[in-house]
Structure 1
Amino acid sequence: MDQVLGQVLRNAVWERLDMLSDLANRADAQSLVSVARSELPRLTEGWRAMLQAHEPDERGDCPTCSTRWHRCKAPCSVWQVAHEHLVAGGLAPQARTAVRAQEEAHPTRRRVPNQARRATPAETTGRHALVNPRAVTA
């Protein structure tokens, strides 16, 4: 059941991001201003909450990314992605960053925009279908 809940949450987030991207690309100026006023505060608070969870501890490790057996030194990949997208933006060098290296080393963990990713078996009944009915057992 956790897998189904996880898929529901992921699909909801992907759909919200798709909707915001579509609005940014297609909406008129007045609609964009309205969306920006309502969504930008939510997005910035979301970034703040996520980054707060990845603040380094007294040893300089990320408490969220670290495990008992492997410590992850700050800045972790979440902070690196935040900097790349929020600060460096389009001016960031196209060199292979630590985040890209990690994605290449762990392709199953890679975060790919919805338009470019392949559908998983649980998504075969629609754009963001929740569960393949044949995959659910009672």
Structure 2
Amino acid sequence: MDQILGQVLRNAVWERLDMLADLATRADAQSLVSVARSELPRLTEGWRAMLTAHEPDERGDCPTCSTRWHRCKAPCSVWQVAHEHLVAGGLAPQQDLRRPSRRKPKVPAQTRGTTPGEATGRHALIPQVAHH
């Protein structure tokens, strides 16, 4: 049941982001202003809540990303992504501020958020692309 609920929540978030991105590229100026006034405060509060959960503790570790067996030093990947998208604007080259050589490759947009067997909703209709 938790897995189903998790997939429903993930799909709802992905679809909301898709809708906002679509509005940003297709809406007229008046609609954009209306959407910006309603959505920007929600998005900034969402970022703030997520970043608060990833604030470093007294040892400089991210309490959310760390486990009992593995400590994750700040800045964690959440803070790095926040900086890349909110400050650098995605224009600067991606960099891992802790260990540049250990960056994970980006997940293609077509496959984000779904795994075989759990895909439902609009994102389930996106064909999975096999990369060789």
Structure 2 Cα separation of the partners of residues 75 and 4 of structure 1: 31
Any gaps of 5 or more consecutive residues in structure 1? 105-109, 130-138
Structure 1 Cα separation of the partners of residues 91 and 122 of structure 2: 33
Question: Alignment length, in residue pairs?
Answer: 119
Q: Where does structure 1 differ by over 2 angstroms across 4 or more consecutive aligned residues?
A: 97-104, 110-113, 118-124
1:122 aligns with 2:98: no
Question: 1:10-89 residue pairs with structure 2 within 5 A?
Answer: 10-89=10-89
The residue identity in structure 1 corresponding to 2:119 is E
Superposition RMSD in Å: 2.2
User: Is the 2:15–2:122 Cα contact (8 Å) retained in structure 1?
Assistant: no
**Cα pair distance change 1:7/1:111, threshold 3 Å:** farther
Please, which moves more after superposition, 85-94 or 44-53? Answer: 85-94
User: Is the 2:7–2:119 Cα contact (8 Å) retained in structure 1?
Assistant: no
Any gaps of 5 or more consecutive residues in structure 2? 125-132
Structure 2 Cα separation of the partners of residues 9 and 57 of structure 1: 29
Structure 2 Cα separation of the partners of residues 98 and 77 of structure 1: 8
Percent of aligned positions that are identical? 81
1:85 match: secondary structure: helix
- TM-score (structure 2 length as normaliser): 0.80
Structure 1 Cα separation of the partners of residues 104 and 86 of structure 2: 19
- TM-score (structure 1 length as normaliser): 0.77
Query: What do residues 73-93 of structure 1 show as CA deviations (whole Å, max 9, x unaligned)?
Result: 000000000000000013312
Query: What do residues 42-65 of structure 1 show as CA deviations (whole Å, max 9, x unaligned)?
Result: 000000000000000000000000
Among 96, 99, 113, the alignment partner of 1:98 is: 96
The CA deviation at 1:112 is 4.5
Considering Cα pairs closer than 8 Å and 6+ residues apart, tell me whether 1 or 2 has the greater RCO: 2
